[in-house]
Amino acid sequence: MALTFYWYPNCGTCQKAKKWLDEHEIDYTSIHIVDEPPTKEQLLSFISKSDLPAKKFFNTSGKKYREQNIKDKMKDASPEEMAEMLASDGMLIKRPIITDGKKVTVGFKEETFTETWLQK
């Protein structure tokens, strides 16, 4: 099954992840995370399948995260509210997000990719 690869082409981390996928000849469909951000429902699904807390899906080093003071808004937010914030602007989402429908990875760490996406 092909992976779904949510990315931002100008993002260095996304470029590294894409290079890794290409080098390992892994089939994927790429989706521009800013032009077509995942919906709130998709994000809630990603959060539950990733075993990560919702806050790990935020691009904390991004300009929009700082401008919108998301750190303070997240303190009392439920996972549903966080997913709604994320769905409102693709630039708030940590990237890339990769899923096969069962598993989800966020960001790029070579060892995580190897463990998750090279398992047969």
**How much is the pLDDT for 119?**
74
φ/ψ of 119, rounded to 5, equals -70, 130
CA neighbours closer than 13 Å in the CB half-sphere of residue 86: 29
pLDDT at 11: 96
Whether the predicted pLDDT of 1 surpasses 70: no
Mean pLDDT across the chain, nearest whole number? Answer: 95
Band of pLDDT at residue 83, cut at 50, 70 and 90: very high
Say what the pTM is.
0.93
Q: Which helix (H) or strand (E) holds 117?
A: helix 110-117
User: What burial class does residue 91 get, using C-beta atoms within 10 Å of its C-beta: 0-12 exposed, 13-18 middle, 19+ buried?
Assistant: middle
pLDDT of residue 45 exceeding 60:
yes
Q: What domains sit in the chain, N to C, each tagged with a CATH number? A: 3-117 (3.40.30.10)
Beta partners for residue 30, in sequence order: 5
Inform me whether the pLDDT recorded for 6 exceeds 90: yes
Q: Pick from 108, 89, 12: which is nearest to 43 by CA?
A: 89
| 5 beta partners | 30, 98
